[in-house]
Structure 1
Amino acid sequence: MVKVNDRHIEALEKANQEIAQKKDVIKESAYRLNYHFMAPTGWINDPNGFSQYNGEYQLFYQYYPYDSKWGPMHWGHSKSKDLVYWEHLPVALAPSESYDSGEGVPGYGCFSGSAVVDGEELVLIYTGHVDSNEPMQVQCIATSKDGVAFEKYTQNPVVANFPEDGSKDFRDPKVWKHEDKWYMIVGTKKDGKGKAVLYVSDDLRLWKYKGVAAESDGTQGDMWECPDLFPLNDTHVLIVSPMYGTQNEKPFYVVGDMDYDKGVFTQGTCTTLDYGFDFYAPQTLVDDKGRRIMIGWMEKWLTKMPSQEHGWAGAMTIPRELILEVDTLKQKPVVELADLRTDYKKLDAFEVAEKTTLNELQEVVSETIIDFNISETTATQFGLELRSSEDGSEKTVILLDLKNKEIVMDRLLSGCGEKGISKAPLVVKGISVNLRIFMDTTSVEIFVNDGEQVITNRIFPDANSKLFNIFTQGGKVSVNSIESWKLGSVWN
């Protein structure tokens, strides 16, 4: 008789052999990023099991090591001491059992979930998915005593059916501890409304259904993926990645109140979390410094991914600390990223009346902080051209529109990747607007006014498109200062 974990070990060994054969070629391939997390080969999507164990950050992720396209989902695994430099570890989970694997079935795998530390154990809680099963999706656990080798629980699934309030789309468990009990929310849908349903447990194995913690108000999507509910300051925050039919949309956050006795989260204002195209399925942890840190998948479903031709696809955003100020959830790049900085440059106050190339700022992999003086600016529209070619045929445009009170990232000329225009609200407080821009070889993340708004997009320009231009439309723009650093690689 084959034991449950014998099958699992065999599936893991096969996956790890595939990685070993391909990783050296993949790491030299086109479009690889310098300081963003990537898998050694193949396809990745959602971050999973973002946690801290034995003093080290753990990042798991949805993974298909055999191809650069989505396939039967595994859990890839890595760890870091500082959220900057990551070490790839063996694959943690592979499809192997009746609840997460199926011969000849179109879709199956170990779908998204979370991780918690229970005594000496690191426990993964995930969705087992098999298209042909009834129910199609169930909740399972796997445990490890060393943080590397994981055994699936012999009594899986620990939640064997969806509740009456939900449906067969029942996935992405997020687990946390409150007082002396474990709580778990799972994303589902019913009657055209996305929902987060709540369970409670004493031991992570026997779960009692509490009810619907939160649901769509009719405008927030008909399926809620990757819900994350956590305390911050004296309140709670709910993050959801919503679907509308088959279309995945921008994740949002809601600040509200959680009543653990009733199992109900009362919603306040709903706000978009990131206004870019390439941000989905974020997950948070609270670390030993007391920080609430978030990381997301820096890609999007059903989009053109030029890296697929080179045997890989998908990356993660930089880790961001979440700071709640009243009802605004600010996102701030973790301070540890400063360790990558070299070649500091600063430009003091100056004005621009027509398009100007800043020759000092031509580092492709960089961090730039630019502070605009709005009180001395007469133009109502101005901005930046990033990764511009000499002739302007290739560029990523950042437009600040004071008249319409929005900031726009236009990637119509950003190279061979997906096109599109992202827009976020632009709130001018006082006399300045501050942009903090993280550029990598194939990505741009813009933090507006200390992280009040964020725009994340992948771009795929030619390697020789390096110009950094400031432009203005119908007036002058005043700049208080620009600071810039070259950022090193975390993979050397």
Structure 2
Amino acid sequence: MMHWRPASGFVGDVIPFCHDGRIWLFYLLDERPDDPTAGPSGMPWALVSTTDFVHYTDHGVVLPAGDRDAVDFDCYTGSVVADGSRLHLFYTGHNPRRGSADGAFQVVCHAVSDGDPTRWTKLPADTFGAPNGFVPQDWRDPFVYRTAPDEPWQLVLAARYADAPDRRCGVVARLSSPDLSQWELAPPLWEPHRYITQECPDVFQWGDWWYLVYSEFSDAFQTRYRIARGPNGPWLAQPRDTVDGRAFYAAKTVEFQGRRFFVGWIPTKQGDAWQWAGDLAVLEAHQQRDGALAFGLPSEVVAAYGDPEDVKLSPLDGASAEPGQGATDRYAAWIGDVVPPHCLITLTVDVAPDTHSFGLLLHATEDGEQATILRLEPQRNRLVLDYWPRGRTGPAQWQIHGDIPHAVDLECPCPLPPGRHTLQVLLDGPTAQAAVDHRVTLTFRSAPTVRSAHVGLFVTDGAVDLVELQVARLGG
């Protein structure tokens, strides 16, 4: 299983931290007890560590939830920093029984360690809530950093202005401290005047650029980023400002051996509804000359798969014997063998000008009639996920979700000029990650009705020349 999940429970927000030559991935442990009569229990921090995002060591719960009446009954998202030999952990405290009629208050909490990331001592005296002018129910996800070794510590949070339009009051609030104990309110880092709030903020410097990463708490639910020439902004949007799609959420970053990784989670689903928490997932960022970021699968993850084998394709419905033997009419498809549930699929094609769409059929039936579809659309410069057949709204033939062109919460802008393109797909049971040209990624979860496992290729209103379609088995 490449997308790690604990034996009992699910991975919520991940807090990555580099220390002692390892990547320590703290995460919110969503235990989802099966017994509805069980007494309420809060949310703790658990920990898993790795050096390659392939092999993991599970350290279990390292920051227990507080007792029933504690301000940190739930230990929500935060950050970890080192100050000399001492480690500091900042997190969000929440208790549904404390607050007002408008909801429970959120507070910033502090814990320390003498250097062991698995052992922490809470410091209740350092707890503080939102000052006047901010909504006390949204004062969360503290991220602590320094702009330079001799500068004060900075702490940014997901916050909301009080007495402001509800869906435009989100702000990345900021405080400063000389000692990581006493904090003073500073000018906000970013106030975009849009959306409810900007969750899980993360700030880092990479070369000549500064980056602000956040998860947009709106209908989109996507992790986005902004860039600036200095640590205080102004924060500029890139043409492609998203990290991934709806199914890679609350991503935070870590630098390891000179590389930058984004670590988030793939939500589980109940029917068509996304749930909170799921499986751990990672992407590697690559910096472009203009400061923009490209994303792909880490090389260590790719290397975990064995020697690739060519997929033998058979034409469907009168298609040419092989892709690339002439332009298609409206639609042509080719179906291949059954692939294992845990594998890496690599497709490389040369795309003819004016091609409308092409892509992969995953989890497909032998006749290609049912499939999970990764569709690349050059005329729209986007990558989308589709399912066929789509769901129905009633028994009649016309009562089908045909008015939904694809899974609209799973699409990414993706430059697709004519020429060669490579699509990698990491299949990991029900979860998957697709990467186009080591530049654009789309994480997704297969439909629960999927039963077959053929792989196929298709093209619509255009032509592609097949360079390779290969499958590599995990550990093969």
Q: CA deviation at 1:367?
A: 1.7
Q: CA 1:390/1:305 → structure 2, altered by over 3 Å: closer, same or farther?
A: farther
Given the alignment of the two structures, is residue 358 of structure 1 paired with residue 336 of structure 2, yes or no? yes
**Structure 1 counterpart of 2:255:** 286
Separation in 1 of the partners of 2:367 and 2:345?
23
Contact 1:162 1:168 in 2 (8 A): no
Q: CA deviation at 1:355?
A: 1.1
Q: 1:112 aligns with which of 71, 77, 87?
A: 77
**Structure 2 counterpart of 1:317:** 281
**Structure 2 counterpart of 1:269:** 237
Letter in 1 for 2:46: G
**Structure 2 counterpart of 1:24:** none
Q: CA 1:186/1:487 → structure 2, altered by over 3 Å: closer, same or farther?
A: same
Letter in 2 for 1:335: S
Given the alignment of the two structures, is residue 437 of structure 1 paired with residue 425 of structure 2, yes or no? yes
**Structure 1 counterpart of 2:395:** none
Contact 1:394 1:414 in 2 (8 A): no
**Structure 1 counterpart of 2:473:** 486
Q: CA deviation at 1:298?
A: 0.9
Q: Secondary structure at the match of 2:302?
A: helix
**Structure 2 counterpart of 1:62:** 28
**Structure 1 counterpart of 2:394:** none
Residues 209-248 of structure 1 mapped to structure 2, 5 A cutoff: 209-218=185-194, 221-244=195-218, 247=219
Separation in 2 of the partners of 1:384 and 1:151?
50
**Structure 2 counterpart of 1:94:** 64
**Structure 2 counterpart of 1:252:** 224
Letter in 1 for 2:437: N
Q: CA deviation at 1:185?
A: 0.9
Residues 22-101 of structure 1 mapped to structure 2, 5 A cutoff: 34-48=1-15, 50-65=16-31, 67=33, 72-96=42-66, 99-101=70-72
Q: CA 1:281/1:120 → structure 2, altered by over 3 Å: closer, same or farther?
A: same
Q: CA deviation at 1:424?
A: 2.2
**Structure 1 counterpart of 2:436:** 448
Separation in 2 of the partners of 1:438 and 1:362?
12
Q: Secondary structure at the match of 1:342?
A: coil
Separation in 2 of the partners of 1:412 and 1:256?
42
Separation in 2 of the partners of 1:236 and 1:324?
13
Contact 2:203 2:211 in 1 (8 A): yes
Q: 2:295 aligns with which of 305, 313, 331?
A: 331
Contact 1:369 1:434 in 2 (8 A): yes
Task: Write out per-residue CA displacement over residues 39-66 of structure 1, whole angstroms, 9 at most, x where no aligned residue.
Answer: 2212332112x11222221111111335
Separation in 2 of the partners of 1:313 and 1:280?
9
**Structure 2 counterpart of 1:341:** 305
Q: Secondary structure at the match of 2:6?
A: coil
Q: CA 1:137/1:99 → structure 2, altered by over 3 Å: closer, same or farther?
A: farther
**Structure 1 counterpart of 2:359:** 383
Structure 1, unaligned runs of 5 or more: 1-33, 102-107
Letter in 1 for 2:112: T
Contact 2:387 2:447 in 1 (8 A): no
Letter in 1 for 2:18: Q
Residues 401-480 of structure 1 mapped to structure 2, 5 A cutoff: 401-411=377-387, 413=389, 420-421=407-408, 422-429=410-417, 431-451=419-439, 453-460=440-447, 465-480=452-467
Separation in 1 of the partners of 2:66 and 2:92?
13
Separation in 2 of the partners of 1:412 and 1:100?
47
Greater RCO, 1 or 2 (C-alpha within 8 Å, sep 6+):
1
Contact 1:64 1:72 in 2 (8 A): no
Separation in 2 of the partners of 1:122 and 1:59?
15
Contact 1:351 1:476 in 2 (8 A): yes
Contact 1:383 1:397 in 2 (8 A): yes
Q: CA deviation at 1:406?
A: 2.4
Q: CA 1:368/1:131 → structure 2, altered by over 3 Å: closer, same or farther?
A: same
Q: CA deviation at 1:212?
A: 0.7
The number of aligned residues is 429
Separation in 1 of the partners of 2:271 and 2:286?
28
Separation in 2 of the partners of 1:138 and 1:448?
41
Separation in 2 of the partners of 1:278 and 1:429?
26
In the superposition, the TM-score normalised over structure 2's length comes to 0.81
**Structure 1 counterpart of 2:372:** 396
Q: CA deviation at 1:83?
A: 2.3
**Structure 1 counterpart of 2:398:** none
Q: CA deviation at 1:350?
A: 5.3
Q: Secondary structure at the match of 1:341?
A: coil
Q: Where is the helix percentage greater, Structure 1 or Structure 2?
A: 1
Q: CA 1:475/1:55 → structure 2, altered by over 3 Å: closer, same or farther?
A: closer
Separation in 2 of the partners of 1:368 and 1:472?
18
Task: Write out per-residue CA displacement over residues 400-435 of structure 1, whole angstroms, 9 at most, x where no aligned residue.
Answer: 2223332221135599xxx93422223134622322
Structure 2, unaligned runs of 5 or more: 313-321, 392-405
Contact 1:370 1:436 in 2 (8 A): yes
Letter in 2 for 1:238: L
Contact 1:176 1:182 in 2 (8 A): yes
Q: CA deviation at 1:482?
A: 3.3
Task: Write out per-residue CA displacement over residues 267-323 of structure 1, whole angstroms, 9 at most, x where no aligned residue.
Answer: 212544245331110011112x121211111117887579x9xxx961011342343
Contact 1:378 1:477 in 2 (8 A): no
Q: CA 1:488/1:215 → structure 2, altered by over 3 Å: closer, same or farther?
A: farther
Given the alignment of the two structures, is residue 187 of structure 1 paired with residue 158 of structure 2, yes or no? yes
RMSD of the alignment, in Å?
Answer: 3.1
Q: CA deviation at 1:483?
A: 4.1
Q: Secondary structure at the match of 1:186?
A: strand
Separation in 2 of the partners of 1:473 and 1:110?
49
Q: CA 1:372/1:52 → structure 2, altered by over 3 Å: closer, same or farther?
A: same
Q: CA deviation at 1:473?
A: 2.2
Q: Secondary structure at the match of 2:427?
A: strand
Query: What is the percent sequence identity of the aligned residues?
Result: 22
Q: 1:373 aligns with which of 350, 370, 380?
A: 350
Q: CA deviation at 1:36?
A: 0.8
Separation in 2 of the partners of 1:182 and 1:467?
53
Q: Secondary structure at the match of 2:235?
A: strand
